Amino acid sequence: MTQKQPNILFIMFDQMAAPALPCYGHPIVKAPNISKLAEEGVIFENAYCNSPLCAPSRSSMMAGQLASRIRTYDNSTLFPEDVPTIAHYLRDNGYYTCLSGKMHFVGADQHHGFEDRLTTDIYPGDFGWTPDWDNFDRRPTWYHNMLSVVQAGLCVTSNQIDFDEEVSYNSVRKINELARSDDERPFFLLASFTHPHDPFAMTKEYWDRYDHEQIDMPRVPKIDYDELDPHCKRLYHVSAMGEYEQTQERIRNARHAYYSEISYADDKVGFLVDALEKNGLKDDTIIVITSDHGEMLGERGMWYKMSYFEWASRVPMIIRAPARFSPRRVKQPVSLVDLLPTLTEIASVNKPIVYADTIDGKSLLPLLKGGDEDKNAVVCGEILCEGAISPIIMLRRDKYKYIYCDADPEQLYDLDNDPDEINNLVGQSEYEKIRKTFHDQVTKGWDTKNLREQVVANQRRRRLVDRSMRKGKFTSWDFQPFEDASQQYMRNHLDLNILERKARFPSPEIPTPDGRLGKRKEG
């Protein structure tokens, strides 16, 4: 029997590293709600972002295409309005689509296929954060610095908490509304939180869930600057990592706060799942958990992202739908661009899918159904943002990870035998055939010199546009949420009895004139 189109609750986090979650093996972090979904769902053990930075990662995920294809290079690149997204495809296939929270869309279109958007974004939607590969030595003042680590610790509230409280409230409220709605369409609700992104600060409630002395330190201690690979040296410059000393206590404080932020984010998952369950929607809803990228969290002395080391690029990916997919763990490498073809195939209910563009992702539905893993499957990633000076390409196949950049020595790691990526196998004769296979794939798939020229030209255009827009009257592209108060609560043009009945869930029965309860039409 053909299954009906399921609802989809897509829960996204920011900077949540897969290795930091208990369902991926972390012994200290407490995230019981995510862990329960993982136990009931399919957990992809080797899921990667396709660009380890917020906006390009999210845009490529939404489009199912690599950042280089849709030219969303960095946190200030226009996400083209004519690129179809997951939301467009699902909406075209009969879904109600709604966004609550962060997506870091850059440009005048702040919906990209979502019928409704409930909150503004936490980050700007303009060109103000455009990198400058022409002048790499000039550090961008708007980027991360080490104050997030130096000042890590307790807070009563923060910019991040204010935002995620709004996201949580609006998401739960929307689930309640959907349960009461007369709209018979299935829904795609994307709830996107900004935690556990730095700054590393959290309230006492969550801080106290951890024993400070039991907070583990990085598996790979700080590597001397002179021994770092060239890209890590560039990241040191971009994030001013040498500005403050990385003392043991500062590192422990930052990691303690990060774990606390994960627990805070995990509670938000609990609120959303509880809302589904109370409204009778859980059984018909596929739940997806993921993040846009990871967080180095002091490994190798590095912080934040924009790297293809595991902590920065490997993300959680959990898909829970026990009525459809039996719980299992999948080792095959996958990536965020796979989510568009996966969700659209599920939503199509066995109808042919016609994509308007070349899709770089592949449907994970065979794996979700228990199919065999493909040891030759290749995951691709790119770094085209600040911190780079030329395109960086990552390929992951089976147990090997390969990283290429015109400006840097190649890197090749055996993640089964070297999970901390300490031993670069390039130059070792027994791995030369593997290196060459990866290298040939990069040169066949990317014209890195031409791509660099495109990125630099795009940066120059955006910097000029941004300068001009800040002279005289500034027109913001940031999304402005609007609520029509005339349709809320009690208003004189609304029938009180009908309003109260429709606003209550479950809807109460209407008494008949003789006092019995029963269904009848309002006259």
Active site residues: 54, 104
Residue 280 neighbours by CB under 8 Å, 6+ apart:
179
* Alpha-carbon 513 to chain mean position: 55
Residue 119 and residue 482 in contact, taking contact as beta carbons nearer than 8 Å = no
For 387, the token pair is 């911190």
* Alpha-carbon 314 to chain mean position: 11
CA distance 57 to 293: 7
Residue 134 and residue 106 in contact, taking contact as beta carbons nearer than 8 Å = no
Residue 404 and residue 361 in contact, taking contact as beta carbons nearer than 8 Å = no
Residue 446 and residue 391 in contact, taking contact as beta carbons nearer than 8 Å = yes
Whole-Å CA distances, 195 to 160, 202, 268? 7, 10, 10
Residue 461: how many CB atoms within 10 A of its CB? 13
Residue 313 and residue 293 in contact, taking contact as beta carbons nearer than 8 Å = yes
Nearest to 198 by CA among 143, 236, 267: 143
Q: Which long-range contacts (CB under 8 A, 24 or more apart) does 408-415 make?
A: 408/229, 408/230, 408/231, 409/229, 409/230, 410/435, 410/439, 411/229, 412/438, 415/310
